[in-house]
Structure formats: C-alpha cells, structure tokens
Amino acid sequence: MIVKQYLPVFRQAFFNTLGVSAVSLIFAFIVGLIGGLCKISKNKIIHSIVSIYVNAIRSTPLLAQLYLVFFGFPYLGIKFSPFVTGVIALTLNSGAYITEIVRSGIEAVPKGQTEASLSLGMNYFTMMRRIILPQAFVIIIPPLVGQSVVLIKDTCLLSIIAYTELTRAAEIVVANSFAPTEGYITSALLYLTLCFVLMQFSRYLEKRQKKA
C-alpha cells in the first residue's frame, strides 16, 4: 500500500504537528495568563489594550493572521523559519482565546473567597497566589483542553507556509503518488486520533469536576 511507503513522512509530520502545537500552547498559555490578569485589572489603559488585542484576534480568521505574519515580516526585513512563523501566529491567536478562558475562570471564583481573604488582611498578591488562582486553575482546565484541540486542528493551516505538518505531508504524498484518498484519509485519521484522545481526556476531567 502506498501509505506504507510514505510512513516515515507521516511519522515525521505527526511529531512536527505535536511539536508546533506544544510549543505554541505553552507560549499561548503564558500570554493568556498575563492577558487574563490584565483584563480583570481596574487600570483602564491595560484593560483596553488587552481588549483590543482579544477583539482583533477573535474577529479575524487565523488564515488572515497567518498571512499578515508570514508576508508581513519579510517585508519589514525580518525572516523567520516556517516553524517560528507558525508558533508566533498560533500563539497570538490562541493567546487571545486563553485570555478569555483565564478571565472567566478567575471571575467564576465566588466573591466570598475574596472577602474572606481580604478580611484576613491578605494583600492582592497573596490573595491571588494562594486563594484565587489555585481555584481558578481547576475551573479553567476543561476549556483549556478544548482550546488545545482547536490549536492542534489550526496547525493544519501551517501547510500553507511550507511547514511539514500532517496536512502538508498529505499534500506531498498526493503530489508524488496521485493517490488523494490514501493521503488525505491517513492525515484525517491521524488528526482524529489526536483530537479524540484529547476530547475523551476533557470529558474525563469534566466528570471529575462535577463530582467535586
């Protein structure tokens, strides 16, 4: 079967997909954490800047953001590898959604927790670190896993900028062997496996949360 012949390509692409997803997720989480904390800030300037960022990302397609980064940077004289370009675009994109997830998580912690902490004399930093954020973290894990699934699927657009992830692997196979069925279906199945595992994990987490 043709697939066996191209197995190494798919395997490399699978790990590339995982790699760019993992790196982007880590950076996106950092961006989202900072963004979420900024969004609950009472400082109007910080709040506005983050709001503009989030609204801009959420109102435009990832493909457009990717084009902006991929074609924009060389025009300004900066050249990045496809991997780095992909990470930048995916980080900025998912970072906005994670900002909202973090913000909702913090706001979901009951107000009584804030009052009890303040009444004990805690300052803002201690209260956040020891009482609010630990509770918020538990709340945000399921939507965070959901966003990870979205990000893994978003990596398919990196095929456009010549990064050899799962979609591009399929394109290579198809171009060389003229067997679109094998190529694209294999990719689809690999994505499905990745996402399915994550989705089941998310469901398991949600059930555990409901018990607590």
Partner 1 sequence: MNIIEISQHSIPFLVKGLGVTAYLSLISGVLAVIIGVIGGIGRGSKIYIIRIFSSIYVTVFRGTPFLIQLYVVYFVLPSFGITLNVLQAGIGTLAFNSGAYISEIVRAGIEAIPKEQTEAALSLGMTPFQKMKLIIMPQVVRIIIPPLVGQLILLVKDTSVISLIGIFDLIKVGRELAIASGDNPLIIYGWVAIFYFVICYPLYVFSIRIEQRLKLRY
Partner 2 sequence: MVEIKNLNKWFGKNHILKNINLDVNKGEVVVMLGPSGSGKSTLLRCINRLEPVNSGEIRVGDDLITDPKINIFEARKKIGVVFQHFNLFPHLSVLKNVTIGCTEVLKMSTEKADKIAKQLLERVGIGEKISSYPSEISGGQKQRVAIARALAMQPEVMMFDEPTSALDPEMIEEVLNVIKDLAKEDRTMILVTHEIGFAREAADRTIFIDSGEIIEQASPKEFFSNPKTARAQAFLNKVL
CB 140 within 8 A of CB 99: no
Query: Could you give the string, one character per residue 125-164, with x where binding to partner 1 holds by CB under 8 A and - elsewhere?
Result: ----------------------------xxxxx-xx----
Please state, in angstroms and rounded to a whole number, the distance separating the CA atoms of residues 137 and 105: 7
Query: According to CB under 8 A, which residues from 57 to 76 bind partner 1?
Result: 58-65, 67-68, 71-72, 75-76
- Please state, in angstroms and rounded to a whole number, the distance separating the CA atoms of residues 160 and 63: 9
Q: Could you say which of 97, 167, 169, 202 contacts partner 1 (CB under 8 A)?
A: 167
Closest distance of CB 116 from partner 1, Å: 27
Site string for partner 1, 39-58 (x = CB under 8 A): ----------------xx-x
Closest by alpha carbon to 3, among 169, 145, 146? 169
Residues 181 and 22: their CA atoms lie apart, in Å, by 29
Q: Which amino acid is at 169?
A: A
Interacting residue ranges for partner 2, rule: CB under 8 A? 110, 112-113, 115-116, 118-123, 126, 130-131, 134-135, 138, 212
